[in-house]
Chain A
Amino acid sequence: MNKSNELEKSKGVVLFAFNSDTVDYVKIADTASKLIRNYLKLPITLITDNAATPKFEYDRVIKVDVKDGNYRLDKQNNLIKWRNFDRYSVYDLSPYDETLLLDTDYLVMDNSLLRLFEQPFDYRLQYRMQTPTGISEEEMGPASLPLIWATVVLFRKTPKSRLFFNLVKRIQQNYGYYKVLYNMRDQSYRNDHAFSIANIILNGYSIDKHTSIPWPMLTVKDDIKSLSIKNNLLVIRTHEQAIVTIQQDLHIMDKEYLQTDECKNFVKELCNE
């Protein structure tokens, strides 16, 4: 890498948000972006569809046509639309040389992600996930390979990264084949799976942990009752338990909570608004 060019390289965060019948992803993106701006102080680009009306002042909003056709089961086992296709297009759509691609349900609460930009890499993925009870090592199926999370992805515009996203595209387009080949549990298309497979193929059909973000991602799968910060400690209350941990980024599966005023107020308080 040419060090003299490093100063000139642009860095930024990209979020994808396509509203579904049940989840206002753009609203969630607006909330998450406040935290991103507060802790990372990086420009933010939102990729969304033409119908979206974001409230947050993004540095750039890119409107695209989004494909439908993917579904998943919600908590009540209802089949709902899931507009998660074409995540691979971030390589071409991102206006930055170095891009941090985040899911909207990832709440940034410290600046640790900035440290990743100092590392040598083409791309970095989130290999390990940590729940409040410990490290969770998930596989794509009962006799499959390790699952990598596409929740946090860092990439530079390099030939290897281009290859990576091209592979993700190919996997999405031929998902029926890859689903069987890799013994996947889920029937719906998941970016986590496509990114996991592309990473294995690109690393010589090997599990290569050199592309991993070095720390696990704290994730809460249960429904959230409340979030609060006290003395630099993050308190997560679910309906079953209360978890106290050091203040850090948090991946929240409960999309309903992320759309509440309570979540919005929590974020406002953190950002001293």
Chain B
Amino acid sequence: MNKQGQGFLTFAQNTAQVDYLKLAYAQACNFRSLHKNLKYAVVIDKQTKSSVTKSCHEVFDYIIELPYDETAADSQWKLANEYQAFACTPFKETIKVESDLLLTRSIEHWLTAFRFKDVVLSTGCKNYRQQLSNNRTYRQFFDDNDLPDVYNGLMYFRYSTFAQKFFATAKQILDAWDYLKIHVLRNCRETTPSTDVLYAVTAKTLGVELCTLPSFDFINFVHMKPAIQGWSSAGDWQEMTTVEHDEDMIRIHNLNQYDPIHYYEKSFLTDERLTHYEQRYHRSRSA
């Protein structure tokens, strides 16, 4: 595929439990209403293709079918294909995001910072108070293995030799996981690695300094996992607080969220919210 321009890329492989295409559709409505100059591409598998509607064709600039689907059909967490982002992306510069992430304002200017590196993984995360989180509840494995505190929820890569090497290395690590988890990594309980872990190990292998921008501490997002907010990790964060929408702004616990929000709980995307983002998209097109 010829690569051109800049844009967002996400993966949407529906499972029995989660309609990831719906999440990606809401995200595309949200992202495109905030970015006139950036396009949006979604990568889907064969199974998800049947769910693509006319509205999807209108909102997504690109709908790309996975060349090689490497996940088991009954898998509920289809992360094994993410290394194919480099091959799948139609863009020269790609901001890859997880589909359960929303924006409240444009991040187009982040490209200026991203361009310092060929690959940039977002580092650390924030709580709803916009403070960098120092909670390590979900990051014990990273600390045990001295891995960089990177998040796959939002990353950047440029069509470049290094980015190609990054994703090829990720694939190699994925293929060698059964060996690595026993003989190399400490306290590894992940049968297959999450993308956060996979990219952290990849960054550690290739050089953390080549894949992160530590001085740009704004390149991250609000992660709504409850322990990051200082709440009990047992429950759903939506039961612990209020959420309001004011045009593109999302107000959580009475505070405006100026950073991207990784809402994490898929039930967050109700039909009412989906309609809200569709309306925002159509309004931005007619403006």
Contact = CB atoms under 8 A, between A and B. Distances in A.
Interface of A: 143, 145, 181-182, 197, 200, 204-207
A208 to B, nearest CB: 11
A205 B231 contact: no
A90 to B, nearest CB: 25
A207 B251 contact: no
B240 A143 contact: yes
B181 interface: no
B254 A181 contact: yes
A207 B255 contact: yes
A182 B231 contact: no
Q: How large is the interface on B (under 10, 10 to 19, 20 to 34, 35 or more residues)?
A: 10 to 19
Contacts of B231: 143
B241 A143 contact: yes
Contact of A204 (B129, B240, B241, B256): B256
B240 A205 contact: no
A210 to B, nearest CB: 14
Contacts of B255: 145, 200, 205-207
Interface in B95-141: 129-130
B227 to A, nearest CB: 14
Interface in B221-250: 231, 240-242
18 contacts: A143-B231, A143-B240, A145-B253, A145-B254, A181-B242, A182-B254, A197-B254, A200-B254, A200-B255, A204-B256, A205-B254, A205-B256, A206-B130, A206-B255, A206-B256, A206-B258, A207-B129, A207-B255
Contacts of A197: 254
Interface string B197-210: 00000000000000
Interface of B: 129-130, 231, 240-242, 251, 253-256, 258
A237 B255 CA distance: 41
A197 B255 CA distance: 11
B229 to A, nearest CB: 9
Contacts of B256: 204-206
Nearest to A178: B254
A271 B254 CA distance: 46
Listed residue (B251, B254, B255, B256) with the most chain A CB atoms within 10 angstroms of its CB: B254
Contacts of B129: 207
Contacts of B251: 205
B255 to A, nearest CB: 6
Nearest to A143: B240
The winner among B129, B130, B242, B253 for most chain A CB atoms within 10 A is B253
Given A145-B253, A206-B256, 13 more contacts: A143-B231, A143-B240, A143-B241, A143-B253, A145-B254, A145-B255, A200-B254, A200-B255, A204-B256, A205-B251, A205-B255, A206-B130, A207-B129
A142 to B, nearest CB: 10
A197 B258 CA distance: 19
Contacts of A206: 130, 255-256, 258
Contacts of B130: 206
Contacts of B258: 206
B228 to A, nearest CB: 14
Nearest to B256: A205
Contacts of A181: 242, 254
A204 B105 CA distance: 14
Contacts of A145: 253-255
Contacts of A143: 231, 240-241, 253
Nearest to A142: B231
B156 to A, nearest CB: 27
A200 B231 CA distance: 21
Contacts of B253: 143, 145
Nearest to B229: A143
A178 to B, nearest CB: 9
Which 7 pairs, one residue from A and one from B, show the smallest C-beta to C-beta distance?
Answer: A205-B256, A205-B255, A205-B251, A204-B256, A206-B256, A143-B240, A182-B254
B232 to A, nearest CB: 10
Contacts of A205: 251, 254-256
A261 to B, nearest CB: 46
A143 B255 CA distance: 13
Nearest to A197: B254
Contacts of A182: 254
Of the candidates A143, A182, A204, A207, the one having the most CB atoms from chain B within 10 angstroms of its own CB is A143
Nearest to A207: B129
A197 B254 CA distance: 9
Nearest to A201: B254
A60 B253 CA distance: 42
Nearest to B257: A205
